[in-house]
A and B are shown apart, each in its own frame.
Chain A
Amino acid sequence: MKKKNFFAQYKQFTFFLILAVVIVLIAVFAPVVSGGVDPLKGSLDEALLAPSKAHIFGTDKMGRDIFARVIYGARASLTATFGVVALIFFIGTTLGVIAGYFGGIVDSVIMRIADMMLSFPGLVLALAVAGIMGASMKNAIVAVVVVNWTKYARLGRSLVLKIRHCDYVEAAIVTGSKTPYMILRYMLPNALPTLIITAATDIGGMMLELAAMSFLGFGAKPPAPEWGYMLNEGRACIQSAPWMMIFPGLAIFIVVVVFNMLGDSLRDILDPKDE
């Protein structure tokens, strides 16, 4: 009964959850949605066609259908984004909780590294990492992760520190609870809700960062459809074929809006005191 009411109670959350699921489904069933058009194949006689019935988003300079490429592009963008968020969440939380729980040298070392990352413009470091390691989607993901895990580490640490010296925690230690048990049963459950909210609100931002990397040519490799890179291609044809940059940009925009709203409404549900 409680479950039935949940979605009715939080209409905004439900609405954006449905939209998010639809976006994921579009990515998963890309071949069906794009009507079986191959995003990699095009014929040069069809190059740079304006949007029409046959190609509703037009075609690019290789004659490839932009609608199909945008739909398939959702796969690359979504998997990379979810991968990044999962990784920064996992790495940041683990390090943060460990730093907070053990304190001392462990804490100092982890936090000084985090400080170093923070006292630095993120995209610059990401560019350097991706640039030095070479352009590929995997390296772009690594670069974005390297820059962004610190937020979770700091948050996780502060949440753990809040309860670290509470009486019930001390009591549990005194009565012989082992360290892994302490971390998993006492520390993590306390820190997780806030961290999950942060991760949810981060999805949009990470997607933008990854798209920026691809746009600069340090992400996805050319033939594969990816929104950031498609915008890069569209830039060259801005005068003759503006549709080449309008639709991939629109796709990024819509997906980011949906995930931002989803994150915001999730925060409203889990953490009502925060406006």
Chain B
Amino acid sequence: MFLQPGVMPLHDKVTCIFCKKKGVNDLNKKQILMRLLQIIVVLFGISFITFGLTYMSPGDPVRNMYSANGIMPTEEMVEQTREEMGLNDPFFVQYGRWLGNCLQGDFGKSYSLNKPVTELLAERLWPTLKLTLMAILLMLVLSIPLGMASALKKNTWIDYLVRGITFIGCAMPNFWVGLLLMMAFCVYFQIFPVISSAGDFKSLFLPALTLAIAMTSKYTRQVRTAVLDELSQDYVIGAQARGVKWSRIVWCNVFPNSLLPLITMFGLSIGSLLGGTAVVEVIFSYPGLGNLAVSAITSSDYNLIQGYVLWLALIYMVINLIVDASYVYIDPRMRLKE
């Protein structure tokens, strides 16, 4: 508004673009459709990989199933069960059958827990999502102010302090952080429970903090870089020269403009968060998907592993799709394309 058109920062354009609403929605739909198609292709590929790996794996699912139930099977029992479960069919027949079932939401039965995989996954999904959301919330609350402060006070003690801490945070293995936090808050101060299976805020906090620490360290650095990039733009000097208040430049121009790269990284970081939950859930005995997957892997429960991998892939891609779709609302340039 207060700047010349040539140096107008992005967010000021938002209002003018909204007029072209119809074209916007068309493009949006087409892009999202393409992405959905891509998700299906990727899921198909991943299902093939996981199934192929299981097929080639050295363990015998039939024997595993029996030993998980404490039975020593005879050779005939094994052979008969193999025939019943269709494990003697050719690879592609088995894959086709398995895929068909998956599409109907049936991932088979977990050998080790003797329950349908879908049911097991569904019951663990919410705790893991809760943990992830909490970690994201902590990460945003910590990293945006820290990153902004560090960028705005570049090369002062605040900047050095933030950079130092984030550097340390990046290099600490998250399972070690988890164990240290556990030692401090559960063993010495006894503020939080050692086993976080209750599902209330208290049992959620430490696992979420553990996840958030590593993420925050990375993210703070990215916030700093993004804000610094934006601060070096010409329009900042222009606005300053025109006597616009510094706080206004920072909060109305620099901050909104630096959000864009951050959102991209945010989408990508969800992947490492979802993977990271496995480690953290094991440490805190948190009843989530990751914990389930690790126990499934230890007991070679292949159906459960396959289900877990496919579900997480789906969640991850859907979240990223939402993130990408949100660009259209945040970045007016996306609406202008084509």
* CB closest chain-A residue, reference B178: A235
A124, B182: Cβ atoms closer than 8 Å:
no
Whether B330 sits at the interface, judged by CB under 8 Å, is no
Whether A132 sits at the interface, judged by CB under 8 Å, is yes
Comparing B46-54, B76-84, B114-122, the segment that makes contact with chain A is B46-54
Interface string of A126-152 (1 = CB under 8 A from B): 111111111000000000000000000
A134, B59: Cβ atoms closer than 8 Å:
yes
Q: Assess A124 versus B275: contact at CB under 8 Å? Given A116-B46, A216-B294, A217-B298.
A: yes
Interface string of A239-263 (1 = CB under 8 A from B): 1001001100100110011001000
Interface string of A71-100 (1 = CB under 8 A from B): 000000000000000000000000000000
A249, B53: Cβ atoms closer than 8 Å:
no
From B38, B53, B174, B274, give the contact of A132 (CB < 8 A): B53
From B54, B179, B275, B282, give the contact of A121 (CB < 8 A): B275
From A116, A129, A215, A235, give the contact of B53 (CB < 8 A): A129
Count of chain A to chain B residue pairs whose CB atoms are closer than 8 Å in the complex: 139
A124, B282: Cβ atoms closer than 8 Å:
no
| Band of interface residues on B | 35 or more
* CB closest chain-A residue, reference B293: A127
Whether A125 sits at the interface, judged by CB under 8 Å, is yes
- Which of the listed residues B57, B194, B275 has the most CB atoms from chain A within 10 Å of its own CB? B275
Whether B283 sits at the interface, judged by CB under 8 Å, is yes
B171, A119: Cβ atoms closer than 8 Å:
no
Q: Which residues of A contact B180 (CB under 8 A)?
A: 245-246, 249
Whether B107 sits at the interface, judged by CB under 8 Å, is no
Classify the interface of chain A: helix, strand, loop or mixed.
helix
B171, A231: Cβ atoms closer than 8 Å:
no
Q: Which residues of A contact B105 (CB under 8 A)?
A: none
Comparing A30-38, A168-176, A204-212, the segment that makes contact with chain B is A204-212
Interface string of B312-324 (1 = CB under 8 A from A): 1100110010000
Whether A115 sits at the interface, judged by CB under 8 Å, is yes
CA of A123 to CA of B275 in the docked complex: distance in angstroms? Answer: 5
From B225, B297, B320, give the contact of A119 (CB < 8 A): B320
A159 CB to nearest chain B CB (Å): 21
Whether B187 sits at the interface, judged by CB under 8 Å, is yes
* CB closest chain-A residue, reference B187: A239
Q: Which residues of B contact A225 (CB under 8 A)?
A: none
> For chain B residues 240-283, which have a beta carbon within 8 Å of chain A?
270-272, 274-276, 278-279, 282-283
Q: Assess A218 versus B171: contact at CB under 8 Å? Given A123-B275, A128-B309, A235-B283.
A: no
From B171, B279, B283, B313, give the contact of A260 (CB < 8 A): B171
CA of A215 to CA of B298 in the docked complex: distance in angstroms? Answer: 13
B53, A216: Cβ atoms closer than 8 Å:
no
A245, B53: Cβ atoms closer than 8 Å:
no
A116 CB to nearest chain B CB (Å): 5
A116, B42: Cβ atoms closer than 8 Å:
yes
B176, A249: Cβ atoms closer than 8 Å:
yes
Q: Assess A249 versus B279: contact at CB under 8 Å? Given A115-B42, A119-B320, A132-B302.
A: no
Q: Which residues of B contact A133 (CB under 8 A)?
A: 53, 57-58
B176, A231: Cβ atoms closer than 8 Å:
yes
From A123, A134, A249, give the contact of B173 (CB < 8 A): A249
From A124, A231, A245, give the contact of B312 (CB < 8 A): A124
* CB closest chain-B residue, reference A123: B275
Q: Which residues of A contact B27 (CB under 8 A)?
A: none
CA of A239 to CA of B316 in the docked complex: distance in angstroms? Answer: 36
Whether B172 sits at the interface, judged by CB under 8 Å, is yes
* CB closest chain-B residue, reference A238: B183
CA of A125 to CA of B179 in the docked complex: distance in angstroms? Answer: 24
B335 CB to nearest chain A CB (Å): 24
Whether A122 sits at the interface, judged by CB under 8 Å, is yes
A127 CB to nearest chain B CB (Å): 6
Whether A39 sits at the interface, judged by CB under 8 Å, is no
- Which of the listed residues A120, A134, A239, A252 has the most CB atoms from chain B within 10 Å of its own CB? A120
A125, B309: Cβ atoms closer than 8 Å:
yes
Whether A234 sits at the interface, judged by CB under 8 Å, is yes
Q: Which residues of A contact B179 (CB under 8 A)?
A: 231, 234-235, 238, 245, 249
Q: Assess A120 versus B282: contact at CB under 8 Å? Given A215-B175, A231-B179, A242-B183.
A: no
CA of A198 to CA of B218 in the docked complex: distance in angstroms? Answer: 17
A238, B57: Cβ atoms closer than 8 Å:
no
Q: Which residues of A contact B227 (CB under 8 A)?
A: none
Q: Assess A122 versus B50: contact at CB under 8 Å? Given A127-B293, A238-B183, A260-B171.
A: no
> For chain B residues 278-299, which have a beta carbon within 8 Å of chain A?
278-279, 282-283, 293-294, 296-298
19 A–B contacts, CB within 8 A, in A order:
A119-B316, A121-B274, A121-B313, A124-B293, A126-B275, A130-B297, A131-B296, A131-B300, A133-B58, A211-B173, A212-B173, A215-B175, A216-B282, A217-B298, A231-B179, A234-B179, A238-B182, A239-B187, A253-B173
Interface set of A (CB-CB < 8 Å, partner B): 113, 115-116, 119-134, 204, 208, 211-212, 215-218, 228, 231, 234-235, 238-239, 242, 245-246, 249, 252-253, 256-257, 260, 275
- Beyond A211-B175, A215-B173: 20 further Cβ-contacts under 8 Å? A113-B45, A116-B46, A119-B42, A120-B46, A121-B271, A122-B271, A123-B275, A123-B279, A124-B293, A131-B300, A132-B54, A212-B173, A218-B297, A231-B179, A239-B187, A242-B187, A245-B180, A249-B172, A256-B172, A275-B225
